[in-house]
Chain A
Amino acid sequence: MAANDDGIAGETSGLKIVTNLSVVFLVVLWLIPTIGLLVSSFRDRDAISSSGWWNAPFATEQNFAASAEGEFRQTPEGWVLEGNVFGEDGSGEVISFGGRRSEPNAFAPGTTGELVRGRTLTVETNGDYVYVDPDEEQPSRNPTVYFGTKVPPSFSTENYETILASAGMDVAFINTLTVTIPATIIPILVAAFAAYALAWMDFPGRGVLIAVVVGLLVVPLQLALVPMLTFHNTIGIGQSFYGIWFAHTAFGLPLAVYLLRNYMVGLPRDIIESAKVDGATDFQVFTKIVLPLSFPALASFAIFQFLWTWNDLLVAKVFLPSNSESWVMTVKIADDLLGSRGGDWGILAAAAFVSIAVPLLVFFTMQRYLVRGLLAGSVK
């Protein structure tokens, strides 16, 4: 590729700029949704509903109500009440005010707003207000001043604390981990032995078995749900962690056997044959030579299986009990949070990021193996 790094392939600098710009455009397009949710997970409910996440770094306009405090003074104009909407110690900038809940932004600061029955309200930019009631009798209760002000951007981990402490996401996280660990480790070993047999041992029916594995790669999981749940109920494990471990192990096997066999077949024949000439048994060849050499393929499959079991919703919905103690994170989000906290975007966003944090970490640290695995499975 070095030969046509610069313009030799008929590439002009104009084309290069266009290429750069289109890639920037695509990357931004691809990232925007995730960034939006990530930003929102750190904002509180009011901030989310008052301004879009793209405005999060900027101050937002929010409306507040301050009930006036203090005693009315009697003056020639009527009863007067003075104070500051931000309280005695607070400070801020009023950008609009009003005398009714339904019209909190009716007047501009510094002007005098006419309210009902001849009452007037003046609010300065710094929050000082003067309320005048021309009535003869002293007003029985203090008025409320509604005003809009700029709120500086604020980010907090409050949503994460809520979701982990009170919403039960911590239990779901542990459950996901519980499902994932055995379901990732056990199939590796089972598949590795089978893959070795299919790659390096000669026996009748080997070709057919390989074809069967390739065929099973695409069998839709949906077929297994009803018969296997019935089977689990028959042998007495019902809906339980055991059931989901068995199911994930079996569902991961075709890919595992296929990936590992493809890799093992490519190992140098000389090493294996000279080991056999030296008197090593198949078992020794496998454990001492093939297994260590196959580490990259084992890692690839482990990452796939980990991501798949961690992210799975279907198998968890069917093979795990449907009570809240057994919910994994995907079920928790899809069946519980989206319903009970449907409008609470901060909470939903935080839950989503709790559930995708670990896969993203695995993804970015082990991307090399993931790519290698994908290529081993697909490029002919």
Chain B
Amino acid sequence: MSPLLQGILTVIIGVGGCIGYFWSSNYVLDKYIFPPKGKDAGRNINRANAIRPWLFMLPAILALGLYLVYPVFGSFWRSLFNRAGDEFVGLGNYGLLFGDGEFRQALFNNFLWVLFVPAASTFLGLLVAQLTDRLSWGNIAKSLIFMPMAISFVGASLIWKFVYAVDPEIGIINALRASMGFEALDPLQVGFWNNFLLMFILVWIQTGFAMVILSAALRGIPEETIEAAIIDGASPTQIFFRIKIPQIMGTIVVVWTTITILVLKVFDIVYTMTGGNFGTQILPSYMMEYMFRDDGRATAVAFVIMVIVLPVMIWNIMQARKEVR
């Protein structure tokens, strides 16, 4: 059977199964377990209503529990074992990691990524959002800058590999260098700075995201505050930095943290562009080097990423708790 057919069949079975589950579990609950009739009608309605939310949530809870909650512990547990998984080595894998120069390089580069990508994307996004705010063709401009969001990291890497190509007849960077009389060089092999060339690909993708959200936030600023500032004689720059920025600070933080988390997951760009060579390794691509070869080490790297994400996670949860209350 062709995979596509198998896929369509899976959609039908999956969707049918879901609908079937939700409908029948609900039906059984109301009809047989706690029917709202007889002498216990009132109590039964309350009981059924106490159980129903859990019926509704059961598939989601099972999937989330199995694929996202359990792996946090499962990965940590696995990282305490050796390559084959049959010998307990304690924190040995973590020791190996920190003793490995490539891992320390990856950690350092990831640190650079986390500093640079969210800052640059948010800054550029805010810039574009503000500049296009009153432009007649602003929506078209925004749509074009937003476009890279739809492109896969692999596709984007290919697009930029072309820009960074060594041949001055292919790569625009080297073409510019040639027109200024410089020798052609491979930008991706320029130590340290090549990291920023890779980061810029992600900035290129994420600026649109930041722009869309910050643009909406800018529109949401109460008009009166700006008018009052104008009447008081504030310059456009002052209005932007003293009136607008403080009012959208909350959104800026959300954009910043969202991109930060993304940065810690993206392995595609480094994998496609340099394969982690020339000092561009980052944690997710370093992990993939050991995936399938040494699961103990791979899971240890994954857990290190988790530990780095943890503060953001806690902060997110605290923000959400505040809102729900």
Instruction: Known A20-B135, A33-B159, A227-B78; judge A220-B265 contact (CB<8 A).
Output: yes
Residues of A within 8 A of B289 (CB): none
A228 to chain B, nearest CB (A): 6
Contact call B7/A178, Cβ cutoff below 8 A: yes
A59 within 8 A of B: no
Nearest residue, chain A, Cβ from B237: A10
Please, how many angstroms separate the alpha-carbon atoms of A178 and B4 in the complex? Answer: 5
Interface string of B37-59 (1 = CB under 8 A from A): 00000000000011011101101
Question: Interface with A: B22-30, B100-108, B112-120, which one?
Answer: B22-30
Decide yes or no whether B75 CB sits under 8 A from chain A: yes
A4-B134, A33-B160, A209-B57 are known contacts. Are A23 and B143 too (CB-CB below 8 A)? no
B7 near A241 with CB under 8 A, answer: yes
Asked whether A225 and B298 contact (CB < 8 A) given A181-B11, A363-B150, the answer is: yes
Which one of A179, A254, A351 contacts B68 once the chains associate, using CB atoms below 8 Å?
A254
- Please tell me if the beta carbons of B213 and A49 are within 8 angstroms of each other in the complex: no
CB distance from B143 to the nearest CB of A (A): 6
CA distance A75 to B120 in the complex (A): 75
The answer to whether A282 touches B134, judged by C-beta atoms less than 8 angstroms apart, is: no
Quick check: A355 and B155 within 8 Å, CB to CB? yes
Interface residues of B in 292-325 (CB under 8 A from A): 295, 298-299, 301-303, 305-306, 309, 312-313, 316-317, 319-321, 323-325
- Indicate if the CB atoms of B251 and A380 lie closer than 8 Å: yes
Which residue among B78, B162, B220, B258 has the maximum number of chain A CB atoms within 10 Å of its CB? Answer: B162
Q: Which residues of B contact A375 (CB under 8 A)?
A: 212-213, 216
Are A219 and B227 touching (Cβ within 8 A)? no
A220-B60 contact in complex given A9-B230, A379-B213, C-beta closer than 8 Å:
no
Is the CB–CB distance between A52 and B264 below 8 Å? no
Choice from A189, A196, A209, A338 contacting B19 with Cβ under 8 Å: A189
Q: Does A289 reach chain B (CB closer than 8 Å)? A: no
A246-B67, A313-B152 known; A210+B167 contact, CB < 8 A = no
Against A, the Cβ 8 Å flags (1 = close, 0 = not) of B216-237 are 1101100100110010001110
> Quick one: CB contact mask for A1-42 with B, threshold 8 Å, 1 for yes?
101110011110001000110110011001111101100100
Residues of A within 8 A of B138 (CB): 23
**When chains A and B are docked, how far (Å) is the Cα of A198 from the Cα of B64?**
15
A10→B7 contact, CB < 8 A: no
Q: Which of B60, B138, B204 has the most CB of A within 10 A?
A: B60
In this complex, how many residues of chain A approach chain B with their Cβ under 8 Å: the count is 121
- Write the nearest CB–CB distance from A187 to chain B, whole angstroms: 8
Task: Indicate whether B69 reaches chain A with its CB closer than 8 angstroms.
Answer: yes
In the bound complex, residues from chain A placing their C-beta under 8 Å from that of B63 are 190, 246, 249-250, 253
* Chain A, 203-222, CB within 8 A of any chain B CB: 203, 206-207, 209-222
A66 at the interface (CB under 8 A from B): no
B170 touches A282 (CB 8 A): no
A58 touches B (CB below 8 Å) = no
Which residue from A5, A32, A310 sits with its C-beta under 8 Å from B134? Answer: A5
For the complex, is B89 an interface residue (Cβ under 8 Å from A)? no
- Knowing A221-B265, A223-B72, A359-B150, the reply to whether A374 touches B213 (Cβ < 8 A) is yes
Q: Please tell me if the beta carbons of A33 and B7 are within 8 angstroms of each other in the complex.
A: no
**Interface CB pairs A-B, < 8 A, 6:** A36-B159, A49-B167, A174-B4, A223-B71, A311-B155, A330-B152
Beyond contacts A197-B54, A230-B78: 20 other A-B pairs, Cβ-Cβ < 8 A, are A9-B230, A10-B230, A19-B134, A23-B135, A27-B144, A27-B145, A37-B162, A40-B162, A186-B18, A206-B53, A214-B316, A215-B313, A246-B63, A282-B52, A313-B267, A317-B288, A330-B154, A348-B158, A363-B149, A379-B220
The 3 closest A-B pairs by CB, nearest first: A250-B67, A311-B152, A227-B74
On A, residues with C-beta under 8 Å from B are 1, 3-5, 8-11, 15, 19-20, 22-23, 26-27, 30-34, 36-37, 40, 48-54, 174-175, 177-179, 181-182, 185-186, 189-191, 193-194, 196-198, 201, 203, 206-207, 209-228, 230-231, 241-242, 245-247, 249-251, 253-254, 257, 281-283, 286, 307, 310-314, 317-318, 326, 330, 333-334, 338, 345, 348-349, 351-352, 355-356, 359-360, 362-364, 367, 370-371, 374-375, 378-380
